[in-house]
Amino acid sequence: MDEATFHQKLRALPLHVGAAGLGDDVALLDGLVITVDTLIEGVHFLPSDPAPSVAWKLLAVNLSDLAAKGAVPEGVLLSYPLGNEAWDATFVDGLADALSQLGCVLLGGDTVSLPAGAPRVLGITAFGRPDGGAIPRRSGAEAGDALWVTGTIGDAGAGLAIARGAPGPERLLQRYRRPQPRLREGRLLAPHVSAMMDVSDGLLIDAARMAAASGLRVTIDLAQVPLSADLRAWGGDALAAATSGDDYELLFAAPADRDPPVPATRIGSFAPGRGIALLRNGAPVPLPATLGWQHGGLR
């Protein structure tokens, strides 16, 4: 069963009003923004990734969902598979460092034992508080809105290739291993955007999801997709960058006549219709076979 079909079946279950029809990455309860993300060894991280990096990433990807809703992290619950003593110890050290650097605290922790040889499965439930009140949904884009993205795209995809043995600079590797949730940017953007989400599965697939949730068509100009100097030097191109995922930048829709209050790049626009279209410097480009990842995972 694919993710869309499964979610469709879930939507037929008795839902909480705060589930908002399961149409977003978060739930709302008593004014709290709540999100769950799971990282699986061999799917979301490599067995060779150091334990402190996995701890960082586990926390960062959850806080990234809060950032996209303009929320301030309040705390996290950890679900952790006890296993190798040395790995477990450095994981906790890494988590301490990540909590401290990302301004978050632990609300609780549950340990589980995995069968021998099973891949590690780590979960976090993260709680955030809206900073002021505006909680942008992914479904709020309007026809005529511009599409923007923070930071640069594709660095983590290159970093994954480097983690797997390709030559390349440490800075790109760290973009894959230690994503930076855009918490400050999310808080500043929240009151000014019509829709916002983080880029986790790939710029194109996530933009297509925002368009679908908003009942619109989105057009992206690949020539505008922001690539880092490191990625250009490494030989990365815009199409690979826009489908490689793990960026954890913020993707948002805003009225075309307004500039955002944080540095960001305008990469496209919304119009009546459905689906996604690509341009390069104004000329149509065929869609690639895959726009990104369907439910997370290494490429």
The tokens describing 3, both together, are 């993710």
Name beta bridge partners: 286.
none
To a second copy, the closest distance from the beta carbon of 293 in angstroms equals 9
Q: Does 99 bind a second copy (CB under 8 A)?
A: yes
Tracing tokens 């996530």 back to the chain, one arrives at: 206
Pairing mode of beta strands 216-221, 275-280: parallel
The residue among 168 and 292 lying less far from a second copy, judged by its C-beta, is 292
To a second copy, the closest distance from the beta carbon of 101 in angstroms equals 11
Binding to a second copy in span 78-97, by CB under 8 A: 78-80, 82, 85, 88-89, 92, 95-96
Q: Does 48 bind a second copy (CB under 8 A)?
A: no
Q: 252 near 145, Cβ under 8 Å?
A: no
Binding to a second copy in span 187-216, by CB under 8 A: none
The residue among 82 and 256 lying less far from a second copy, judged by its C-beta, is 82
Instruction: Please tell me the total number of residues recorded for the chain in this structure.
Output: 299
CA distance 253 to 160: 28
- Residues 127-146, one symbol each (x = binds a second copy by CB under 8 A, - = not), give x-------------------
Q: 187 near 196, Cβ under 8 Å?
A: no
The residue among 105 and 166 lying less far from a second copy, judged by its C-beta, is 105
CA distance 187 to 166: 36
Q: Does 22 bind a second copy (CB under 8 A)?
A: yes
Among 60, 64, 72, 112, binds a second copy (CB under 8 A): 112
Q: Hey, is 192 helix, strand or coil?
A: helix
CA distance 129 to 251: 20
The residue among 52 and 296 lying less far from a second copy, judged by its C-beta, is 296
Q: Does 101 bind a second copy (CB under 8 A)?
A: no
Residue 95, class by beta-carbon neighbours within 10 Å (0-12 exposed, 13-18 middle, 19+ buried)? buried
Q: Does 123 bind a second copy (CB under 8 A)?
A: yes
Among 104, 163, 172, 251, binds a second copy (CB under 8 A): 104
Neighbours of 229 (CB within 10 A): 9
CA distance 159 to 71: 28
Taking the mean position of all CA atoms in its chain, how far away is CA 276?
Answer: 19
To a second copy, the closest distance from the beta carbon of 2 in angstroms equals 8
Chain residues in the site for a second copy (CB under 8 A): 1-3, 6-7, 9-10, 12-16, 18-19, 22, 26-27, 29-32, 34-38, 40-44, 74-75, 77-80, 82, 85, 88-89, 92, 95-96, 99-100, 104-115, 118-119, 121, 123, 125, 127, 294-297
